[in-house]
């Protein structure tokens, strides 16, 4: 399959390789210092062992001395006392000479250096996963032109912008579909551009050439009997297109649906979408953080296995008792600060068998997709941790509610739950 073969190669800028090379050099130095320190610690341990032997000698001398004293051999006792004194002095000076605190300090310092290097390696590896944004934009153009032969698609200078492979893979189709839907209504002149700013990738589409005006959005919503809140600026009007209850069957319903699909795909990558209408062109601006590879996660246990929730989607954790759960329309619901929150059973939704009945923990992780909230019952909480997102093998492409995996400290695999998909599946 193309998906699995195409994924295995990445072009790497030689500077990135140099960066990684330098870091591996630093790592080797840290390793050498660690083995030095270990040597020093071994010597220190041997010295302490020597002191322990001295202490044992002192003890037996002390015993002997006690006997002598009881037997009244004063002269002998004096000698033994002197020997004891010497031994105790030796032990005391040995203990005071101990440099275990210095060694510990060095160890601490070295661990700090190691942490910095491993952070740098993560950054460089993240950078090496980046692919040119131009590639994604060309693929969007190809898809758009294949659908609308009259479309005039220009890929603007993007100043060598780059983005994570996961973004390119996750957004290319939805971006193209939004482009096609927009060009149906807003004209055939499509401009695509990309830029990197502050660790984000900005992808901009602008579609013009037609007779579309933002007022159409307001009119069509009004005709469908929907009140539109908000002001009258082009930006506010265009934002109405992302309304979840946008009326179906109007001339701009498809456009709204495709833009919402794009917004959801962007949200899944922790990004956001803004719409506007500027001098005759409808514009769509996507902003997505570049650092997708490493995320903070909440590890939970479900059916004896560890699963990870992206922490960015976790609102809170609540503890419920059986009496707190109500059935509304056959769905379990809990009352959370006077609001009803639907509760999903991971067994029913994702197919993970969890503890039931008496064994239920009552722990609920409240997750959000940015709009809706839902509670997921879990068997237990393991804790917060930083995880590296790994893509799943192609064999698992059809699994719903799970969008990646991560490797835990013990080398085992934990699946990453997809909050947006779980919320969608629960609907």
Query: Under the rule (CB under 8 A), what is the footprint of another protein?
Result: 1, 4-5, 305, 350-352, 390-402, 405, 407, 411-415
β-pairing verdict for 272-278 and 281-289: antiparallel
Shortest spacing between CB 413 and another protein, in angstroms:
4
Nearer to another protein, 36 or 412 (CB): 412
Nearer to another protein, 90 or 305 (CB): 305
Shortest spacing between CB 351 and another protein, in angstroms:
4
Backbone CA torsion sign across 409, 412, 418, 424: negative
Nearer to another protein, 78 or 397 (CB): 397
Backbone CA torsion sign across 123, 126, 131, 136: negative
Question: In 148-232, where does DSSP find H-type helix?
Answer: 165-186, 215-223
Shortest spacing between CB 49 and another protein, in angstroms:
38
Shortest spacing between CB 135 and another protein, in angstroms:
21
Nearer to another protein, 207 or 367 (CB): 367
Q: Which of 237, 265, 252 is nearest to 140 (CA)?
A: 265
- CA terminus-to-terminus distance, the chain: 33
Shortest spacing between CB 7 and another protein, in angstroms:
10
Shortest spacing between CB 4 and another protein, in angstroms:
5
Q: What is the DSSP letter of 198?
A: T
Nearer to another protein, 58 or 402 (CB): 402
Nearer to another protein, 164 or 276 (CB): 164
E strand map for 238-324: 272-278, 281-289, 294-302, 305-310, 314-319
Shortest spacing between CB 245 and another protein, in angstroms:
30
> How would you class 180 by CB atoms within 10 Å of its CB: exposed for 0-12, middle for 13-18, buried for 19 or more?
buried
Question: How many Å apart are CA 289 and CA 99, to the nearest integer?
Answer: 47
What is the C-alpha radius of gyration for the chain, rounded to an integer number of angstroms?
A: 33
Shortest spacing between CB 250 and another protein, in angstroms:
36
Nearer to another protein, 72 or 411 (CB): 411
Q: What are phi and psi of 331, to 5 degrees?
A: -105, 140
Q: Check if the beta carbon of residue 155 is closer than 8 Å to that of residue 192.
A: yes
Nearer to another protein, 19 or 401 (CB): 401
Residue 22 neighbours by CB under 8 Å, 6+ apart: none
């Amino acid at each position: 399959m193309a998906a699995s073969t195409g994924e295995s190669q990445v072009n790497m800028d030689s500077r990135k390789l140099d960066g990684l090379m330098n870091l591996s050099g630093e790592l080797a130095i840290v390793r050498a210092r660690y083995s030095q320190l270990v040597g020093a610690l071994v010597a220190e341990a041997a010295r302490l062992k020597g002191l322990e032997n001295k202490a044992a000698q002192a003890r037996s001398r002390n015993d002997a001395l006690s006997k002598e004293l009881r037997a009244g051999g004063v002269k002998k006792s004096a000698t033994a006392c002197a020997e004891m004194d010497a031994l105790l002095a030796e032990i005391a000076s040995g203990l005071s000479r101990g440099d275990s605190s210095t060694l510990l300090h060095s160890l601490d310092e070295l661990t700090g250096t190691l942490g910095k290097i491993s952070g740098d390696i993560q950054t460089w590896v993240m950078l090496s996963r980046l692919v040119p944004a131009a590639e994604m934009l060309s693929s969007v153009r190809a898809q758009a032109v294949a659908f609308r032969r009259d479309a005039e698609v220009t890929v603007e200078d993007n100043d060598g912008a780059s983005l994570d492979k996961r973004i390119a893979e996750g957004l290319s189709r939805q971006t193209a579909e939004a482009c096609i839907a927009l060009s149906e209504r807003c004209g055939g002149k499509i401009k695509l551009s990309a830029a990197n700013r502050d660790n984000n990738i900005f992808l901009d589409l602008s579609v013009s050439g037609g007779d579309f005006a933002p007022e159409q959005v307001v009119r069509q919503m009004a005709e469908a009997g929907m009140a539109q809140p908000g002001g009258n600026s082009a930006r506010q009007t265009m934002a109405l297109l992302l309304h979840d209850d946008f009326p179906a069957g109007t001339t701009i319903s498809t456009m709204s649906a495709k833009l919402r699909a794009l917004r959801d795909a962007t949200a899944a990558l922790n990004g956001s979408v803004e719409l506007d209408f500027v001098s005759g062109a409808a514009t769509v601006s996507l902003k997505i953080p570049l650092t997708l590879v490493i995320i903070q996660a909440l590890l939970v246990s479900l059916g004896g296995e560890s699963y990870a929730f992206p922490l960015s989607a976790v609102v809170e954790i609540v503890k419920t008792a059986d009496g707190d759960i109500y059935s509304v329309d056959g769905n379990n619901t809990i009352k959370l600060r006077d609001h009803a929150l639907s509760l999903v059973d991971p067994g029913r939704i994702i197919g993970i068998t969890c503890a039931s009945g008496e064994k239920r923990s009552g722990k609920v992780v409240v997750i959000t997709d940015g709009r809706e909230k839902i509670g997921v019952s879990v068997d237990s909480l393991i804790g917060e941790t930083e995880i590296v997102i790994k893509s799943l093998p192609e064999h698992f492409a059809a699994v719903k509610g799970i969008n990646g995996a991560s490797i835990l400290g013990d080398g085992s695999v934990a699946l990453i739950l997809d909050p947006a998909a779980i919320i969608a599946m629960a609907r």
